[in-house]
Amino acid sequence: MVTFAINGQLLAAPAVSSTASHLSTRRKYSTHSSSRELRFNTQFPRFPSLQCSSSSSSNRKTEPSPNNNLLKSLAKSLVLGSVASSASLFLPRFTSILSGGGGGGDGNSGGFGGGGGGGGGDGGFFRDLFSLAAPVAVADEEQSPDWDSHGLPANIVVQLNKLSGFKKYKISDILFFDRRSQTDVSTEDSFLDIVSIQPGKVYTKSQLQTELETLATCGLFDKVDLVGKTKPDGTLGVTISFAESTWQPAERFRCINVGLMTQAKPIATDSDMTEKEMIAYLRSQEKDYKRRIDKARPCLLPGGFQREMMMMLRDQRKVSARLLQRIQKRVNKWYQDEGYAYAEVTNFGSLNSKELVCEVREGDITQLVIQFQDKLGNVIEGNTQTPIVHREIPKQLRPGHVLNMKAASQAVRNIFALGLFSNIEVLPSQDEKNSGGVIVEIKLTEAEPKSAEVSTEWSIVPGSTGYPSLASFQPGGSVSFEHRNIHGLNRSVMGSVTTSNLLNPQGDLSFTFDYVHPYLDGVYNPRNRILKTSFINSSKLSPVFTGGPGFEEAVPPMLVDRIGLKANISENFTPQSKFTYGLVLEEITTRDQ
């Protein structure tokens, strides 16, 4: 969760304060399986939150950035299913089912080749045969408390279904082999991002089987298989061989916002359907999909960016899974860079056609909720009227717009500038009633409206002995008070009284009283004129009527007394321009001591 903490300025840090709420929401899409659509099923990323606090210190907990997890989750949970082998003749659609990653499965389940591997035995006969003919390096049988040795001869290939369901295997390395090019894949290949198993980690047989099932159903591969290779130190190397999925070339690129759109309900298919019935079913699904994308809104991607994606498609002879991954990363990165932290690619539709459709859920705001809370985080009824807060919220953070964290941070700065709140939090959350919608919740902690302060001071002058001494034991000082947010309308009264002798104020007593009345035309009027009135009384030594050097005692000091009333109205036209007009009534008198 990204937290912005403000103490005089806005700072960005991957942390949250102790008062911020942690949001953990998950997104799940489940649609019927077809062959025209490639869908990304992702977890909800942790919503970035904004916080502004007037305190100078806060406890924070760092959390991993959501951007890397989002990309891996998007790619890992990509799911593809085929309705029928003949579907490709009639523009079939590809869609997805929700897939989990790397979890435990049934340890007694059989081997799974993902459509690409063969069987194979446990190597027992050949192991005995080779052990008679030549010495074989057998793995060390000593096992770590965290993992188990495979207990097999070194450097032999073991099928996944031949592994023991009772052991924990330590993975030493992971290799990727491309069946089409008959070459090993480099460590920088994008396919490596979707694999959850990591070298140096410990996994069970069921976890490896679940990983293979995830890869086999993710839609990126036509065929995929996973085999192990024993190592002399008792660990297990893993080789993943695959054949990448491909589709016919596309010439056009289209991006749509599918947020808040009703998801089509999956229609169950009958396994006894004839070929003619299957063709009719696929054509019906194709028409429904076209009607759906025609109703969708255009996404926020600029035209220049979409043309770049179109050129990427035209430069390729065919649409491949790697190409779709690159497009997905580029699109997601653009949204993240522009502040749309909730936007993500959820699906690629219209595969095997001339136009590739990129479906994005951009994070449409459905509700804006303002809550007041006490210092303990309990929801209370605040003193501030909500229209005062609504005035400071940018339009981009209101319902009907796409959630943008830059607009959210601007709202935090605007609200904090009111000077009414000690803590401000902006917390987006998933709208459970509207798929793809976001509820923006602003939590405010009001500062104390009344305050008073007393300050004292003593003057130090050089003494007769040359050492500093007090000019007088009688302290001077000031008394000030402030009452802010009167009637919850951000009106305030401030005053201060100053004297050189707090114990016996005399002729040098001065005071100032101010009254500030914002929103002179009403809180609902966009024009913000501020009325400020001041009543002042001051007494200061005149810097003009002095005796000069050598005549200090001959000419007594002169005091200048000022008493009056000031009233002015100011209005901000732009952040850089301000217009003020007013009236000043003041009486000035001079006197000696």
Q: Which of 31-45, 70-84, 489-503 has the lowest mean pLDDT?
A: 70-84
Q: What is the mean pLDDT of residues 433-443?
A: 92
Per-residue pLDDT tens digits for 213-237: 999 888 788 899 999 999 999 999 9
Q: For all residues of the chain together, what is the average pLDDT?
A: 76
Q: What is the pTM of this model?
A: 0.66
Buried b (16+ CB within 10 A) or exposed e, 156-184: bebbbbbbeeebebbbbebebeebeeeee
416: pLDDT strictly greater than 80: yes
pLDDT: which is higher, 392 or 140: 392
* Terminal-residue alpha carbon distance, the chain: 66
Per-residue pLDDT tens digits for 170-201: 999 999 898 888 888 876 777 777 888 999 99
Q: What is the mean pLDDT of residues 65-89?
A: 36
446: closest CA among 523, 378, 352? 378
Per-residue pLDDT tens digits for 445-481: 999 999 999 888 877 777 777 777 776 777 888 899 9
pLDDT of residue 550: 65
Q: What is the mean pLDDT of residues 351-367?
A: 92
pLDDT of residue 404: 95
CA 416 to each of CA 374, 412, 447, 481: distance values in angstroms, whole numbers, following the listed order: 17, 6, 11, 21
CA gap 41, 342 in Å, rounded: 14
76: pLDDT strictly greater than 60: no
Q: What is the mean pLDDT of residues 347-369?
A: 92
pLDDT of residue 592: 76
Per-residue pLDDT tens digits for 521-553: 999 888 889 999 999 998 887 777 766 666 666
CA gap 206, 235 in Å, rounded: 17
Per-residue pLDDT tens digits for 383-405: 999 999 999 999 999 999 999 99
CA 575 to each of CA 391, 413, 414, 419, 571: distance values in angstroms, whole numbers, following the listed order: 15, 14, 12, 18, 11
DSSP 373-418: E-TTS-EE--SS-HHHHHTTS-GGGSTTSB--HHHHHHHHHHHHHT
44: pLDDT strictly greater than 60: no
Q: What is the mean pLDDT of residues 5-15?
A: 33
Q: Phi and psi of 425, rounded to 5°?
A: -130, 135
Buried b (16+ CB within 10 A) or exposed e, 467-491: eeeeeeeebbebbbebebbeebbbb
Per-residue pLDDT tens digits for 21-30: 332 223 333 3
Helices H, strands E: what count in the chain? Answer: 8, 32
The pLDDT > 70 percentage for the chain reads 72
pLDDT of residue 138: 41
Q: What is the mean pLDDT of residues 104-128?
A: 36
Q: What is the mean pLDDT of residues 35-41?
A: 49
pLDDT of residue 561: 86
